[in-house]
Amino acid sequence: TKESFDAKAVHQLIEKDLGTLLGRQKYDGSFGLWKLQEASPAPPLVSLQVIRAVMLAKERGYTVPADKLKLAQKYLKTFQPQIPRDYTKGARIALVAYALYLRYLHNDIDSKGALDLVRPYISAHKADALELEAAAWLLPLLKNDRASVKEYAFLRASLVDKVTETASSASIAPFSYGDSDWLMYHSPDRTEAVVLESLIESEPDNDLIPKLAKDLLTRRTNGRWESTQENVIALLALSKYFHTYEK
């Protein structure tokens, strides 16, 4: 209830948790899963998700030391060689696309990096080969690039063609990273949230947006989705939806 909500206590708790997270940052800007030193490195997506949280916390006024933030930003540009070789090609491309999207969210737009990922698929005429989440993360980077109209159209088609739409709702067709699904923490509801956020960023007047938001909300059970990943990404997308259309 409003009476029991203690904003100061919540702020202090977030500061404490943020400090714990930052204490797990390594020399290269990546993060351990449970602690700084671990027997095996965490999946790269873990570091990307933590970096997103850290950057968002900084944006919201929480304490993030400049050296920690600089290391995180550097990791987004240099982590690609650290992706294990046993990841599928689709998973590797998606990780790089996500890193580019995180940079975009903080006004570091690398349209050339996005084009380098997209153009081989266009040349090979393989629209279906580009993973859906990768297309969603790359789309906003090219929305204002007049020299990349062809590539933007390709990404948009890769996205929209996988949406099943009715008069009142829309949903995303299933896809998979294959053997890398578990390394990417992949799930259908997270993918739908990623697509929703991408369209809000890229095409805020797209008719699919309210339909995807509606469908995403119906996928909850007892007010939540099935995993932490789904909860976080869905809430980020729906928060963007609320602040864009209903504030």
pLDDT per residue of the chain (247 residues) written in tens, 0 to 9: 455 668 889 889 999 999 999 998 999 999 988 776 665 778 999 999 999 999 999 999 999 999 999 999 999 999 999 999 999 999 999 999 999 999 999 999 999 999 999 999 998 766 567 899 999 999 999 999 889 999 999 999 999 999 999 888 899 988 899 999 999 999 999 999 999 999 999 999 999 999 999 999 999 999 999 999 999 999 999 999 999 998 6
The rounded distance, in Å, linking the Cα atoms of 143 and 153 is: 10
Cα distances from 53 to residues 40, 97, 144, 235, in angstroms, run 22, 17, 26, 13
pLDDT at residue 7 in the model: 85
Determine the pLDDT at residue 80. 94
**Residues 6 or more apart in contact with residue 182 via CB below 8 angstroms:** none
SS3 at position 221: strand
